[in-house]
Amino acid sequence: MNTYFTFWHYGASIIISLLLIIAIIATLRERNITAKTSIIITYTIVAFGLLFLSILVIDTYTKKVTLSNLENHRFYAAEEIIFTGMVRNTGGYPIGEVNVEIKIVNKDTAAKRGEPSYQSNAFAELIGDKGLKEKTSFVVVTEVVATNLKPGQSKTFRIAMPHPTHFKGYSDYVRVFGN
User: pLDDT digits over 130-174, tens only?
Assistant: 554 567 778 899 999 998 888 999 999 999 998 888 788 888 889
15/25 Cα distance (integer angstroms):
15
On whether both 74 and 57 belong to a single domain, the answer is no
User: Of 62, 81, 96, which residue is a domain's last?
Assistant: 62
On whether both 82 and 151 belong to a single domain, the answer is yes
On whether both 24 and 97 belong to a single domain, the answer is no
Handedness of CA 151, 152, 158, 161 (dihedral sign): positive
Residue 38: domain span: 7-62
For the chain, give the mean pLDDT. Answer: 83
Rounded to the nearest 5 degrees, what angle is found at the Cα of 63, between the Cα atoms of 61 and 68?
115
On whether both 76 and 129 belong to a single domain, the answer is yes
Question: How many helices, marked H, and strands, marked E, lie in the chain?
Answer: 4, 8
Determine, yes or no, domain membership for 1. Answer: no
Determine, yes or no, domain membership for 165. Answer: yes
Name the pLDDT band for 117 (thresholds 50, 70, 90).
low
On whether both 42 and 107 belong to a single domain, the answer is no
What secondary structure letter does DSSP report for 6? -
1 pLDDT more than 50: no
On whether both 48 and 93 belong to a single domain, the answer is no
What secondary structure letter does DSSP report for 32? S
Query: Which ranges of 30-133 does DSSP label H, i.e. alpha helix?
Result: 36-62, 109-112, 122-126
Conformational region of residue 69, where left means phi above 0, alpha means psi within -120 to 50, and beta covers everything else:
left
Q: How far is CA 131 from the centre of its chain?
A: 31
Mean pLDDT of 23-33: 88
- When divided into structural domains, the chain yields a total of 2
The pTM for the full model equals 0.70
